[in-house]
Structure 1
Amino acid sequence: MATSAKFVSPPTDGSIPPSSISDFHLEHNPNHVFAILYDINNSSQTNVTHEQLACAVHRAAHILNPNGAIPQGTNIGFLLSTHAIQYIPFPISPRTPVSGIAHLLKSTQTSLVVAGGSQAINHIIPQLSNNLAEVDPPVQFIDPPSLDQVLPDLGKAEREPEYKPFPPLKAISGDTIISILHSSGSTGMPKPVKFHLEGLFKNLITQSIGRAYAQEGVRSGTMALPTFHGMGMFLQIFIPLYAGCTQVLFAPNHVPVVPTSNLTIKVAAATKCSHIVCIPAFLEEWSQDETAVAYLRQMKSVVSIFEVVLQIVVTQVTQIFGGGPLAEAIGNKLADQGVHFRSCYGATEFGGVTETSEVDETSDWNYLQFSPQVDARFIPQNNGDNLFELAFVVSDNHKPFELNFEIDGRPAYRTKDLVVQGEIGMCPIVRSAVMFGRERNQTGVLIELEENVSSMYDTQEGRSKTIDEVWPFIERANQTSATHSRLERRTIIFVDPARPLPRTVKGGISRPGALKLYASVIEEMYLGLEKGFGAADRIKPPRSWDTTEGIEVWVTEEIQNLLGRKVDVCGDLFQQGMDSLTATMLLRLLKDTLNASPHSNIRSGATKVNQQTIFGNPTITQLVQVLVQLSTCNNTTVVDPVSEALGNIHTMIEKHKVDWPTQGARDNQPVKKERVVVTGTTGGLGSHLLAQLLQNEKVEKVWAINRKSSKNNRDREINSFEDKLLDVNLLKSEELVFVDADLEDPKLALPNEIYDEIRREATIIIHNAWQVNFNLGLQSFEPSICGVRNLLDLAFQSTAPTGLPRFIFTSSISVAGFGGPGRRLSEISVTPEMASTSIGYGQSKLVAEKLLESARDSGLESCSIRLGQLVGDVKSGAWSTTDWVPSLIGSSVSIGSLPRAVGTVSWLPLDVAARSIIDTCVNRNKVLPQVMHTSHPRPVPWVDLMNALSASLVPLVNSQLPIVGFEEWNKRVAEAAESFKGSESDRYKRFPSTKIQSTIDGMVLADKELQSHEEVEHVESCGTVRLNTKVAKEFSRVLETTPQLGDEHVQKWIRYWGTKGLFVQ
């Protein structure tokens, strides 16, 4: 197989069509990287080479078209990239209404649909089947192949890919259809657009935008693009295949990644992208972030997309930005900040048709320059307003995918930028309608009434009645419109009869004139949306704010109306069709409804919900819990959620608890050397556990079990060790075995030989892996609870001559729930009643403890080790910036003060906690206790740590931060965050503690109560329970000898957080 260090460009004359391009690269560019997959969970990066891609294409071809039975040229829907399979791929947006999808399939005679991969799509299939029941030939649905089937070698660079070549395909001509895309459907039913081979090269690959990507070293961040979009298909598939650029994508994840602006720029920076693709809303947020703007200035290309229009921004040399209309103020702001860019234009129907060369003046960013390869024509509209319609005539170097007109005897495509009337125009009282708001998060409409009903405009009552009469037509339009095109009642503006819409000589509406005439009214409407004005006119609040059930019914109904489909109240909304735009619309609805309440305590809740409320509580159940908390503030008449939580805990325990076989007397051999299974080794505590196990002379073998990832676990572990300054050479040990597993599987999804090996040899199991998300309810942690049960089953099936393995579970202080300040907890079993006041995370850990207790009763030597607050070790200071303490410090830097609290803290460095756990595991002189605590036995006053933090922050803020009362500090943060004028993402970056505001509020209340407490030097701050460590100190001397937290620890934390970008000034 030939290889080349430099990318060998395929010909662009059509001689190598998409059906052959993978084989071309397999021969000429096998080692060239086609894509980089970035895992947001561990920041790992996995390369996908053209060799791997080609093998994957052949494997997928055999799976989807076994023996080549389906004829070449058959249309297939929902497919992303199947050019070598003989099919014509037709990717369809799952956000398209079912009626729109059915229309697309029928109109293109598509009889095969590859569908699946998410709850949203699985929900669509039965509805779609019913809609297509009478279609002949019948539509066949095919399950998509799994990632493991097509890329079994992913992340295993040392492995030579194996595959069976698919038979070569027949040659095709320039007019052969190679793919089908569809329009957004924002003006009615979505329209299919057929891509022919000739147009692929003339309209895209050889146009200016295509040449911009055909440069050495181009790395394109396309992670935020949907493949069903024209730009997605172009930049994620065709350009990397023909121009040779490397794209960056999110690694496959069991929970689909929602591309936020912060996440997109973070991944682009981490992977050193030279180009990036986004929506205009991202640019708006980045324009307010100095770090993001500085990064944009370095990039060669920033592409922002919106609907079918492409607008390109150029920064430095051949640089690109794209999208629908970027708000002029934002574009000017970026230009003023030194981002050099220019606008370009394009559409699915005719490709990219403008130049991307550098502009001389940044102020010229919103001007267009057509490519010399296209023949652009302007058709006069004869309305006296100098209005023209843009058209493109077929030329030697450009051939639109669609042709609908003829100019000078030559075929052409008229772009038809027309006023949208559709369903609204069918209303008998509507004379005309003009939609607006493409650069906004919410679409609006100008409606001009017929003369015989124009008097209804004169009164508020008349306008309200008019909305009621028009609304059924708008609802029908909304049902067949994409999410971003849907209208709501407050975005309807009626035209004043005294100021009629300007018209052309032919009687049509002059759209530019109409929008100019009502510009101030439109702007006033948008300002009202932001402030919630007029919300009461459309709001239908819950029948009662006093019951969880009533709120849940209301939230469910509103979200189903928003998404246009039924949803599972316990399921992740972002897997059921919600995106960032619908999340924004839901947020506005929640704010408006709370603000409209006659009760002040409910109205006050409107200031406490934000975008993170939606993203951080992605199920209806979680959202309802938040709303109940907000709406029942200081209300003691509501149903006690603790009782419900207690019932859920008991149900979960009984569901997973079993009667394990009681162990009889066995003649066990003594343990000479430990053979340890440890789960979750790529995180903070897990990395320290693994490092110390590999250094422990009592241990001779370690199985490091982690969930399967796109990047092999050894590489993930190396990254984690490097981050924490641990000895990476330890990972070369022959004693170490990395194991990919799925703990939810009864046999952990392990190969039989590994499972049996562990049964035969393991002497200790340390279960450390657990989902960490303090927003989720107990039910969401059931997969983690299943993992405990399955590992316990493995322990009971042991055939080791040394007997059943010891089983250690890393539990949490949160099992104790939340109660009055000054509490102490002994190393004994905790009741479900205590955990019922905790968060879902703590409740799930309590359920696991109860499973271990049951196993212990059956003869398994088990121990739940409850961990207190763990902090960065003194060597590296590595402490996750998303934890509550660094979030608090980040906000403190932004407001210029630190919070004072009474009492002490018993925070323990990660490395010390790991040593304590391992000392306990390998101590064979004693039977393991049922429960043990790992917490610092010598607490330090909270205020002492704040003083140390203040001193350590001096180099960053140029002076010591004053320490103020916790309540005053909380008030300052809230006021600063509320008055902050930047984007939501920037607000969280500057005031990260606001993400956990309810937790902070609880700490403030606990601190107020503690201020009247006696002997606060023996009480934990902020209502935290103090863990007794008497038993732990008997098993491990490390707790007795570890020094108190002090300046050295604090300085390392500050240094580490600084490298992770925590502090924003």
Structure 2
Amino acid sequence: MRANCIAFPISPRNSPIAVAHLISKTEVRHILVGRESAMEELTDAALEIIRDQYPSVEPPKTSPMPLFEELYLSQTETAITAQDVPYIFKGPDAIAMILHSSGSTAFPKTIYWTNHRFSQLALIPWFGERDLTDKVFSLHVMPFYHGMGVLQLSWTASCGLVVSAFEPKCPAPVPTADALFEAAKATDSNITFCVPSFIEAWSRNPEYVKWLTTRDGVLFGGGSLNKEAGDYMTSQGVSYMAHSHININEAEVGYDWEYFHFPDLVKPKMVPYGNNTFEFVMVSRLLNEQSNTFCEPSVLNTQVAGIGAYATSDLMVPHPTKPGYWRIHGRTDDQIMQNTGEKVGAYICRILETNPGPLENILNQDPHVLSSVMFGRGRFQAGVLIDPKPAFRFDPVDQVKLADFRNKIWPTIERMDAYAPQHSRLFKEVHCSFYIMITVAKPSKLFMYTAKNTARRQAVINDYEEEINALYDIVEESTQSSIPPPSHWDIVSAIEFVRAVVVKVLGHTVNLYLIKVDIVADYLDQPAGNMDQEFLAACFARLRTSRYAQNIAELYSSPGLPEAMQGMVAKYIGQYPTRPEGPLQPRPLEDTVLVTETTGSLGCYLLARLVEDTNVTKAEVCAQRRGLNPNIADSKKAVLLKGDLTKDNWDLPPTVYTEMHRSVMHIIHNEGSLSELDTICIVAWRVDFKLALASFESNVKGVRNLIDFSLKSCLLDSPRLIFTSSIGVFQ
């Protein structure tokens, strides 16, 4: 740039045909080629493609990239001075630099930065909430062919930050998570700039986490950070600075670290996309402005009210309580629209959407997985294609090795399934088609990666189109559509139907009384017409065929849902206990508060406030860290209990239960989850719209037991019961 050239850094992760495409689009005249053999081979292959496929394009000349020693340690007297190449300013609209997109879905696209745009980007820190002057920025792993790396060139001039980097070597140091940490620590960097996968790796090393808590922050971009790792690091005191080309996050980041707000220089238009998601469209100016002095998009691809704008394809979700704060959800072009075959109403076929980004992030943390790509657009079920790490690669034609690999990564798949919506899960049940949908890349057909070191989603899916179609063909052949469900459900027809399904799957007659597989009880309430393999796999869970047939028959012959709900209400109302006979105790001078479920955000903050309240002498709870003071649970006021609201005396020792009767003045019944029984003292309401009514009976019984506890209190003023939960429980 100083030599009056237009700089165009190109990612070496691009394929030769992609590099040739970029060269042809920008009329490159000269290429500086890195000294590594991989760089030379990529350049030679790209130039060969230009000669063969772009005859009208003159192939650029090449020169080896100068080494650090040649530029700054040379003893020759032929060095070029500033006077030899005077700088010529060509105006604010002249092109200063060309970048390219990552090319995740197609060929990378060129992005032109003018002198004016470069000066606008230099002002980004001025609109942030952190003073970056004299701060040492670790840019050890940030490539300068990406906007996140290039921006620092202008920021060093605009706000005086200091850049730390690896020692210049050839070949360049390998940018691993460990190497970056050691380098950032050695240079005493205040802010470490990295990709999310490095933070996830650091979260597993207590020494790394301890040092990061002493820094100003960790700046990440290029993808989303796994929530589990993010929550943990935040709870330990690590400060995040989520980064984009137009924002550095606010000064203090707490439990809601995933959310950010746009700085004043950006003019956002949030366009509804459905399911409470919005696409971020960057408008070049407001209606009452002639122009946006500080930030105009480099590319315009749409209009808002007649004004040029850039539709980013970034999907965001608003903060539930803080207006103007947003969380990254994914990309519009990444969403997998699935046709589940479910009927809504009489004729409409239900379409469900899978957001692959967060699910792939979870799977990519597995020690056996290098990268993963989910697929299934327009299909009834999503699948995943995995690129194993080099040490674990094999030919997936070997079914024994493939099954062994699936078993190795299955704990991570279960973590992913726990996060995923029901239609996006990847079940492993024996003979279930969805186990087949977890497949592995071939050593002869490895993934292509972007400059961000993420898989080129669409390119990978296109490369594996034949294999993906073959997987769905196998699933189609193994479906149970040839066994129609009975027109009328009773115990006889249900037994015959279940037996026919089992025999068809196993291929021969077996003793059905001995069959056992993992249970998936979520699907007991599916309609008979939708009994695909997902449902059938659940039907065989730990129960004999005749028993399950009886359950199915009862399901379709039982009263309707409203009657069942009314029956449960009738079961748990009335016959309330009377107040204890004899003298009642006066209200204690200080309050004792019982809080159920303190592993969630609300319960955790309730605990923190109760411990701080001078009027509260005891808070009987169980807590989990949420970015609060880690000493809260150690407070003498907090009594951690483990019990079960559905059992007599809540399954607590008699002395503890009696003492609670004598002291508890307030009961805060908070939202909880049955899956957390091992870590909470008392389980509260479960919010899960996929489960049948019977799954919630323990919660209803628990609320009734809390009411009885309050009424049977030995205190003159019985404890007050406060119930809190999501408004969604009334759906």
What band does the TM-score fall into relative to the shorter chain? 0.3 to 0.5
What TM-score do the two structures reach when normalised by structure 2? 0.46
What TM-score do the two structures reach when normalised by structure 1? 0.32
Which has more helix, going by share of residues? 1
